[in-house]
Structure 1
């Protein structure tokens, strides 16, 4: 059965949430948005492509920074309204130069920074 990005459930702006996970370590790296065209581009090119809401344009992860996400596996949740992209991440995934965007924890009511920026 061939896949059609139009079969996914998008929000009123035509977007679907996408979670990027390191295919080797299992670490959650980041969250971003995709639309039907960025889904298609990701599957065709193998380079993870998101939709930038602020710039209103496609965003190929690592195109300017060199911190590329190469697609390893593409998964759809049971409701078809959220994506999981398993990737091979080169360098940091976060724009703060950290491995993951999820570097802050709340423990006993305090924020704790779990990782420093990569050098």
Structure 2
């Protein structure tokens, strides 16, 4: 089983700078990402036009370097334990319009345009965030669907590919 690469490879080394100081990280003009102890960086992905949150993914150094070099979103699959290009199986590739790093460079935000049906969720919805969680006095109540239909049939798109959801 592969594990996320926390040590930058040659491509990543050319793209990423060492984290020299707090000022360098927070106010500098060089990318110096901080990956967690498991070698991963969280990445929130939104639709470039509508701003809708599509998904939260994880990147290791290879996935981040590939994303920046190709302008197509790549992620670290925790279920498959490997880097994958979003849309490799489904055809729903994410073309990166803009990438932003947060203040301490430990989280990434991608603005993308999704090829094909415009959906990013393996369940068939446009967004992976298709249910609303009750809060306040309604906490503990039932989830509410925020999308009223699936954009595609996952069985038709993915066939017998393993489902990434783990119990």
Aligned-pair distance for 1:3?
A: 4.5
The residue number in structure 2 matching 1:66 is: 91
Structure 2: segments with no counterpart, 5+ residues: 1-13, 19-31, 153-167
Aligned-pair RMSD on alpha carbons? 1.6
- Local SS of the residue matching 2:143: strand
1:67-116 superposed Cα distances (whole Å, 9 cap, x missing partner) = 11001001000011100011001221000110001111124333111112
Q: Within the alignment, does 1:114 sit opposite 2:146 as a pair?
A: yes
Equivalenced residue count is 118
For the residues of structure 2 that align with 1:106 and 1:39, how far apart are their CA atoms?
Answer: 30
Using structure 1 for the length normalisation, give the TM-score. 0.92
Q: Does the 8 Å contact 1:20/1:30 carry over to 2?
A: yes
Residue 101 (str. 1) matches residue 113 (str. 2): no
Greater relative contact order (CA < 8 Å, ≥ 6 in sequence): 1
Paired position in structure 2 for 1:32: 57
Kindly name which structure, 1 or 2, has the bigger radius of gyration based on alpha carbons: 2
* Higher helix proportion (structure 1 or 2): 2
Report the structure, 1 or 2, having the larger strand content: 1
Q: For structure 1, which runs of at least 5 residues remain unmatched after alignment?
A: none
